[in-house]
Amino acid sequence: MNRFDYVRPATVAEAVAAAAQPGSAYLAAGTNLLDLMKGGVMRPARLVDLARVPGLDAIEALPDGGVRIGARVRNSDLAYDPGFARRFPAVAEALLSGASAQLRNAATVGGNLLQRTRCAYFYDPASACNKREAGAGCDAREGENRLHAVLGWSEQCIATHPSDFCVPLVALGAVVEIEGQAGRREVPLEEFHRLPGTTPERESVLAPGELIVAVRLPGEAAGFAGHARYVKLRERTSYAFAVVSATAGLRLEDGAIAEARLALGGVAAKPWRVPEAEAVLRGARPGAEAFRRAAEAALAEARPSGDNAFKIELARRILVRALTLAAAGTPERLPALPASPHAPHPGVSLHG
């Protein structure tokens, strides 16, 4: 590990000023950053520790029925918050499907948004990776790429974003609050992550030194609580990132779908909302035919980036499964295997 400076600011303003210096990186729990530093993938010259910065670890109910989540709120604390899980069950299910309990007890909301891809070539400093080093090339293009992107990829990068949490967040219209030297600004999560294009090293809209201070869900997102699910297909049922995942939220009126919110994970360099599929479902009766049409619309622009054509059909089927589960109704309690397609029948409490 290379040598680096270590700073512990006492306020958001101090943190932003410290991180504005070139080569700086924010440290929250470090569940991703420290691994990358140990492997020589990231070599920050300065770590700005947020542990003592107040005001970043609160879960606040908003007057419109929404919620404001501080960037340092731990994943497990958010998932197990009764009020939050009741109003945004798909988000809680996504959180509980990610990593191990030990990691969820440490990992933070802000860090989850900013976690780096799990592409093996990105993690290997001996491999060419444009995301790690601009202009180096992309060994994944001709390498082991069965788990790589099928939407939004470019010749420069075919990596995927690994977050479970971000998938239902983007479907529900989450907004990211950002503090920087120029002041505070807000960005819809759907616009926060960047597609690779010709600059895959730029993964988000954050400017140097800018800090995520909170994520906000609007009150209207709670209107999907009765019919909302997250489904994740992984190569191991526990402690694995998604091969593909999907979230579905439905608002039903008189037996028809008045509104749908849909997003996919594991298919692109960002959580992928699918408004075309939402439009297909508006006014339709819930059922296999409507769900399949929505899935076709969601993956209409998908194309393989290598040996991964199977992911396109897999993503369609996972979206249909998420819609089927959502239509059946949100369970009273989360499944013992959150987000698993192998969990028992939907809509039934799976705990004693």
Q: Inform me whether the pLDDT recorded for 188 exceeds 90.
A: yes
Kindly state the average pLDDT of the residues 332-347. Answer: 77
Rounded CA separation 177/70 (Å)? 9
For residue 255, what are the CA distances in angstroms to 20, 250, 258, 276, 289?
53, 11, 9, 21, 15
Quick one: pLDDT band at residue 345, thresholds 50, 70, 90? low
With cut-offs at 50, 70 and 90, classify the pLDDT of residue 336. Answer: confident
Tokens of 3: 């040598």
**Domains of the chain listed by start with CATH number:** 1-51 (3.30.43.10), 224-328 (3.30.390.50)
Q: What is the pLDDT of residue 1?
A: 60
Give residue 346's pLDDT: 52
Q: What burial letters (b/e) apply to 293-306, b meaning 16+ CB within 10 Å? A: ebbebbbeebebbb
- pLDDT, one tens digit per residue, over 52-110 is 999 999 999 999 999 999 999 999 999 999 999 999 999 999 999 998 899 999 999 99
| Prediction pTM value | 0.96
Q: Provide, rounded to the nearest whole percent, the portion of the chain with pLDDT above 90.
A: 91
Q: Residue 337: pLDDT above 90?
A: no
Helices 288-298/310-328 angle, 10° precision: 140
> What pLDDT does residue 162 have?
97
- Are 161 and 151 in contact by the 8 Å Cβ rule? The answer is no
What integer pLDDT is reported at residue 238 of this predicted model? 74
Residue 248, both tokens: 């579905």
How many Cβ atoms sit within 10 Å of the Cβ of residue 137? 14
| Closest C-alpha to 93, from 194, 224, 191, 281 | 224
Q: CA-CA distance, 275 to 298, in Å (whole number)?
A: 8
Q: What is the mean pLDDT of residues 118-130?
A: 97
- State yes or no: pLDDT of 348 exceeds 90: no
